[in-house]
A and B are shown apart, each in its own frame.
Chain A
Amino acid sequence: MKRRSLPREILRTVTSLAKGLGVTFNNFWRKKVTLQYPEERWDLPKGYRGMPALPIDPKTEKTRCISCGACARVCPEQIIKLEFEVGEDKKRKLTEFTIDMSRCMFCGLCAEACPTDALVMSDVYELSSTTRDQMVMDLDDLNKAGGRWPEEPAEEKPEDEATDEQKPESGGVA
C-alpha cells in the first residue's frame, strides 16, 4: 500500500467521514421503503403464482373443471385429489377437489396442464393456519380463492375436447 503523507491522511480521514455523514443525511430524507403489511399491500406482479384455485366462471356460474385429472397427474407433489361422478349425459361432474397446500411448491404445473383454464394460479398468498388440516383446501376454499374469473366472457372452449383417455372410471380419485 502506498503511504500517504500525514496531512493528506488527515485530510482524507476528515473528508471521508464527512462524506459518510452526507450519505446518511441524504438517506434521512429519502422515501421510506417500509410496507406496513396488513394495512398496505404489495402490488402483485402479473403472472404471480399464488395458491392454485378454481374460479367460478361468471358465464355459467360454475367452475370450468371437467374432472379430467390432468392437474392431479402432473402434480410433482401429488397433492391434488379430485372426485367426480358421471352423469346421465356421460359428462363428469366434479364433486370434490382438494389440494394439500402445506406441501404445494407453487410450481404452477397444474394450472399449465389444465385444458380448460379452470385451475389457475390465484394471487392468494396469505396461507398460514394453525393446524395441518386447515392447510388442505377443499372445493369451496378453492372456489373462494379463485373468485369470479374470467371477468369478461372468454371465448367458449368445446367441453369435449378435454375428456380424454386414461381416466379412472366414475367416482375415482385421480
Chain B
Amino acid sequence: MNSELLLAIGKMLLVAVVVLSFVLFSVLYMIYGLRKVMGFIQARIGPNRVGPQGLLQTVADALKLLQKEDVIPEGADKWLFTIAPAIVFIPAYLVYVVMPFGDGLIARDLNIGIIYVSAITSIAVIGVIIAGWASNNKWSLLGAFRAAAQLVAYEVPMILAICIPVVFAGTLRMQGIVEAQSGYYMGFIPKWFILSGYGIPAIAAFIYLAAGLAEINHTPFDIMEAESELVAGFNVEYSGMKFALFFLEEFAASFTISAIAVTLFFGGWNPPLPFLGAQFMPAPGQHASLLWMGISLFWFLAKSIGLVVTLMWIRATWPRVRVDQLMNFGWKVLIPIGLVLLLAAGGIVAAGG
C-alpha cells in the first residue's frame, strides 16, 4: 500500500513539474512572440540580440528581474504586498490541472472540469485587488477598483458563454466536451461547436473571447492597468521577481483563455480535417496510442498558439475602451445576448437537435 502511495505521489510531482515547466517555457516564448509580433506590426524587427534571433531575450530579462532589488514601499502592507503576486500566479498554474492537452494527456479529468476552471481563474482577481490595496498607492488602488468592477461585470457573460458548449456536450468534463466535438459533417467539416448548433456556439465563442480578454485584462479591456491613465495600474509598486510573477500570470492567463476557448469551441485536440491525424483516433473504449497522443497534443497546441497570436494581433491593433463603455458592453450587451443564447441552446437540445 505504501509503495502505491509513493508511486501516486511521485506521479503527481512529475505531472506538477512537467506542467510548471510547460507554463514557464510557454510564457518565456509568448513574451518573445508578443514582442516579435508587435515589432513586425510596427515595422520594427523586435528583439534579435540575445541568442539566435533573440530567442534568449526573455531568459535574460527574467535573470535580470531575479537579480533586482525587491522594493517594498514605505507604508505598504508588507504581508499582503508579498503574498499578492503568489495569489495571482498560483491560480494561473492550477488551471492547468484540467487542461486537456491531448487524448489522455490531462492531469486530472475532473467531472466538473470547466466549473473548476472558471472558479480558479477568478481567484486571480483577489490577488490583483490585494496588490492594489497593499501598495498604498493611489494608482494601484484605482487599478484594483477597476479590476473588481470589470471582473464582476465580465464573469457573468463568461460563465453564460461557457454554459453553451456544456449544454451541447451534456457534460462538464473537459475531455467529455472535446470528445463531443470529434467527428466530421459530410466527412470533412469538423464537428467543432463553433461550426455546429446553428451558429449559437459561434456567438458564444465571441462572447467568451470578449469576456476572456476582459478577465485577463488584455487589450482592448486593459483598463485596470491603463498605462496612459494609471501609470501601470495595480502593479506600479512592484519590482523584481514579484513583478515578474505578475507578468508571468498575465501571459499564462492569455494562454489559458486561448486553450479553454479551443477546448470549448474549436474542437480541443481534434484535427481540423479527417486526414490530418484523425485516422489514428482509437475506437471508443480503447486506449489512446502514443502516436495519437502526440497528434492530439500537436493539434491542441497549434490551435491554442494560433489563438494566442490572434490575441497579440488584437493587442497591437485595437485601442482601449473607456471604463463606462466597458461596463455598458458587459452588462447591456454581453449578458443579455448570453442569456438569449443559453435559452436557444437549451431549446435546441431539448428539441433533440
Contact yes or no, B317 A36, CB < 8 A:
no
Contact yes or no, B44 A33, CB < 8 A:
yes
- Determine chain B's interface SS by DSSP, over half rule: helix
Contact yes or no, A28 B41, CB < 8 A:
yes
Nearest Cβ distance between residue A123 and chain B, in whole angstroms?
A: 26
Contact yes or no, A34 B44, CB < 8 A:
yes
Question: Given the known A-B contacts A28-B40, A32-B40, are A20 and B317 also in contact in the complex, defined by CB atoms under 8 Å?
Answer: yes
Contact of B45 among A25, A27, A34 (CB under 8 A): A34
Any chain B CB within 8 A of the CB of A1?
no
Contact yes or no, A27 B313, CB < 8 A:
no
Contact yes or no, B313 A33, CB < 8 A:
no
Any chain B CB within 8 A of the CB of A46?
no
For A25, list chain B residues within 8 Å (CB). 313
Chain A contacts with B in 11-48, Cβ cutoff 8 A: 17, 20-21, 23-25, 27-34, 36
Contact yes or no, B42 A27, CB < 8 A:
yes
Any chain A CB within 8 A of the CB of B316?
yes
A43 to B78, CA, bound (A): 55
A6 to B41, CA, bound (A): 32
A24 to B44, CA, bound (A): 13
Contact yes or no, A24 B317, CB < 8 A:
yes
Chain B minimum-CB-distance residue to A29: B40
A29 to B316, CA, bound (A): 14
Contact yes or no, A24 B316, CB < 8 A:
yes
Chain B minimum-CB-distance residue to A34: B45
Contact yes or no, A36 B318, CB < 8 A:
no
A interface size (C-beta, 8 A): 15
A156 to B43, CA, bound (A): 50
Any chain A CB within 8 A of the CB of B314?
yes
Contact of A21 among B37, B42, B43, B317 (CB under 8 A): B317
For B41, list chain A residues within 8 Å (CB). 24, 27-28
Nearest Cβ distance between residue B315 and chain A, in whole angstroms?
A: 10
For B316, list chain A residues within 8 Å (CB). 24
For B318, list chain A residues within 8 Å (CB). 17, 20
Contact yes or no, A31 B317, CB < 8 A:
no
A93 to B44, CA, bound (A): 52
Chain A minimum-CB-distance residue to B333: A10
A103 to B5, CA, bound (A): 79
Chain B contacts with A in 6-44, Cβ cutoff 8 A: 37, 40-44
Contact yes or no, A27 B314, CB < 8 A:
no
For A27, list chain B residues within 8 Å (CB). 40-43
Question: Given the known A-B contacts A21-B313, A23-B317, are A28 and B44 also in contact in the complex, defined by CB atoms under 8 Å?
Answer: no
For B37, list chain A residues within 8 Å (CB). 28
A62 to B314, CA, bound (A): 63
Contact of A32 among B44, B313, B314 (CB under 8 A): B44
Chain B minimum-CB-distance residue to A20: B317
Chain B contacts with A in 299-318, Cβ cutoff 8 A: 313-314, 316-318
For A32, list chain B residues within 8 Å (CB). 40, 43-45
For B44, list chain A residues within 8 Å (CB). 32-34
Chain A minimum-CB-distance residue to B315: A24
Nearest Cβ distance between residue A162 and chain B, in whole angstroms?
A: 50
A31 to B43, CA, bound (A): 7
Contact of A30 among B43, B313, B314, B317 (CB under 8 A): B43
For A28, list chain B residues within 8 Å (CB). 37, 40-41
Chain A minimum-CB-distance residue to B316: A24
For B42, list chain A residues within 8 Å (CB). 27
For B40, list chain A residues within 8 Å (CB). 27-29, 32
Nearest 3 A-B pairs (CB), nearest first? Answer: A24-B317, A34-B45, A24-B41
- 15 A–B contact pairs at CB < 8 A? A20-B317, A24-B41, A24-B313, A24-B316, A27-B40, A27-B42, A27-B43, A28-B37, A28-B40, A30-B43, A31-B43, A32-B43, A32-B45, A33-B43, A33-B44
A contact set with B: CB distance below 8 Å: 17, 20-21, 23-25, 27-34, 36
